[in-house]
Amino acid sequence: MGEMRILIADESSVYKKMFTQAAAETGKNAAVTCVAAGNEALEKVKRFDYDIIIIDAEISGSGIINIIKEINRTIPKAVILITARPSHANSKYYDELPDHVPNIPIDRMIKPLYDSYRDNIDIIKRKLEDIFKMIQDETENKTANEPPHNASSSSSPSPASAKIKKILPKNGFQPEIVLIAASTGGPLALEKIFTKLKGNFPVPILVVQHMPPHFTETLAQNLNQKSPLKIKLGEHRETIAAGTVYIAPGGVHMKLDSKSRIYLEDSPPLNGVRPAADALFESIAESFGGKSVLAVILTGMGRDGEKGLSKLKEKRECFCLVQSEKTCVVYGMPSAAVESGLADKILDLDDISLEIENYISAKNNNLTIDN
């Protein structure tokens, strides 16, 4: 990976300094430019080709919506990271941001406010490392998927695909739980799905959406207002129930035990994120009292969910739907499932809710095993 060009737009000289230091400590070849106002950021975006653009949600001058639209017009490959103070006002503002700029890849981060300057640097560094890795993975995936010169147009299954034992639905695969994983672009995707599902949904739904604390609370509240389903944050030791959607709170992993109780765990991040889909999926593979699981992988950066899906395929009757590339904001997580042979069906976002209901409303559990 060559030089990474980073633009930081923030009025706070302290945070600009912390992000710059964190970028240097990643060991990557990063060139950082800092500005203090939105109009300065807008001018930089028009003139230079950045890989990562970090913007404070409350930046003064040109509005953040205008900056993001300009980024999308001039350098759409750039990864956008919006930072915000940990307040409900900011979390609500950011949750509504995708409504104004849909289909643009945006990640988010709560600004760390620890007393220790070193702790703040470490939090930012881990976030930047995750973004660097995502960019590297995306670059390598594009290179690997480019057909060699004069290559035949025919294709054969990858070795990974050939090793995966898939559960294929026949005569009505009926899952006992639905698991959904999402990251960048996920809030709007979840809204499209949950507004279409019926309120008398007969099984629980557990969701991991990569978000910091506060953001997940606002997300759950907004989705609950728009959906016929009951949607809430998962609570520690809460027993899950049919017809309810449980969203993993930001900053902790959400797991399930053998008695269908939620456990919230403050263990280290997985894949650079917490909550992580892998943590939830692996716990269900090990402990879930039922046998049939429907997993749905939506738009998002990185490869979270891949390892957990593999465990679910090994230990449960698991069928996996993934969102199509053309309807994803970022195709990272769905792409990882497809490349690993873990995806059973690829669907456009508008078709996912109906597909879920088709399985849920089936009258029997007959399955065939495809080796």
Range of the domain at 137: 4-141
Instruction: Indicate if 111 and 215 belong to the same structural domain.
Output: no
Q: Please report the sign of the dihedral spanned by the C-alpha atoms of residue 134, residue 69, residue 193, residue 242.
A: positive
Instruction: Indicate if 107 and 214 belong to the same structural domain.
Output: no
Burial 195-220 (b: 16+ CB within 10 A, else e): eebeeebebbbbbbbbbbebbbbbbb
Note down pLDDT in tens along the chain; length 371 residues.
678 999 999 999 999 999 999 999 998 889 999 999 999 999 999 999 999 999 998 888 777 888 888 888 898 888 888 888 766 555 555 656 666 666 667 777 878 887 889 988 988 998 888 788 778 766 766 655 555 544 433 333 333 443 445 545 455 578 999 999 999 889 999 999 999 998 889 999 999 999 877 788 889 999 999 999 999 999 999 999 999 999 999 889 999 999 999 999 988 888 778 899 999 999 999 999 888 999 999 998 888 999 999 999 999 999 999 999 999 988 889 999 999 999 999 999 999 999 999 888 753 344 343 43
Instruction: Indicate if 173 and 313 belong to the same structural domain.
Output: yes
Q: What is the DSSP string of 62-86?
A: S-HHHHHHHHHHH-TTPEEEEEE-S
> Locate tokens 């060559």: which residue?
2
pLDDT score, position 155? 36
Instruction: Indicate if 180 and 289 belong to the same structural domain.
Output: yes
- Distance CA(279)–CA(290), nearest Å, equals 18
| Final residue before a domain boundary, out of 141, 173, 198 | 141
Q: Which residues are catalytic?
A: 183, 210, 304
Q: Tell whether 113 is covered by a domain.
A: yes
- Distance CA(349)–CA(220), nearest Å, equals 20
Q: Tell whether 261 is covered by a domain.
A: yes
| Final residue before a domain boundary, out of 77, 109, 141 | 141
Instruction: Indicate if 230 and 266 belong to the same structural domain.
Output: yes
pLDDT score, position 156? 36
CATH of the domain at 286: 3.40.50.180
Q: Tell whether 87 is covered by a domain.
A: yes
Instruction: Indicate if 209 and 340 belong to the same structural domain.
Output: yes
Instruction: Indicate if 257 and 326 belong to the same structural domain.
Output: yes
Instruction: Indicate if 166 and 64 belong to the same structural domain.
Output: no
pLDDT score, position 367? 39
Instruction: Indicate if 188 and 303 belong to the same structural domain.
Output: yes
Q: Tell whether 154 is covered by a domain.
A: no
From start to end of the chain, where are the E strands? 4-9, 30-35, 52-56, 79-84, 106-110, 166-169, 177-182, 205-209, 230-233, 244-247, 253-256, 262-265, 292-297, 317-323, 345-347, 367-370
Q: Tell whether 335 is covered by a domain.
A: yes
Q: What is each CA distance from 347 to 161, 172, 340, in whole angstroms? A: 18, 18, 17
Instruction: Indicate if 125 and 180 belong to the same structural domain.
Output: no
- Distance CA(63)–CA(252), nearest Å, equals 32
Instruction: Indicate if 165 and 313 belong to the same structural domain.
Output: yes
Supply the pTM of this predicted model: 0.74
Length of the chain, please?
Answer: 371
pLDDT score, position 157? 38
Instruction: Indicate if 115 and 166 belong to the same structural domain.
Output: no
Q: Tell whether 155 is covered by a domain.
A: no
User: Hey, is 233 helix, strand or coil?
Assistant: strand
Helices (H) and strands (E) in the chain, counts: 12, 16
Q: Tell whether 146 is covered by a domain.
A: no
Per the DSSP assignment, residues forming a β-bridge with 207 are: 180, 247
pLDDT score, position 94? 60
The distance of Cα 364 from the centroid of its chain, to the nearest Å, equals: 32
How many domains does the chain contain in total? Answer: 2
| Final residue before a domain boundary, out of 94, 113, 141 | 141
Q: Tell whether 147 is covered by a domain.
A: no
CATH of the domain at 101: 3.40.50.2300
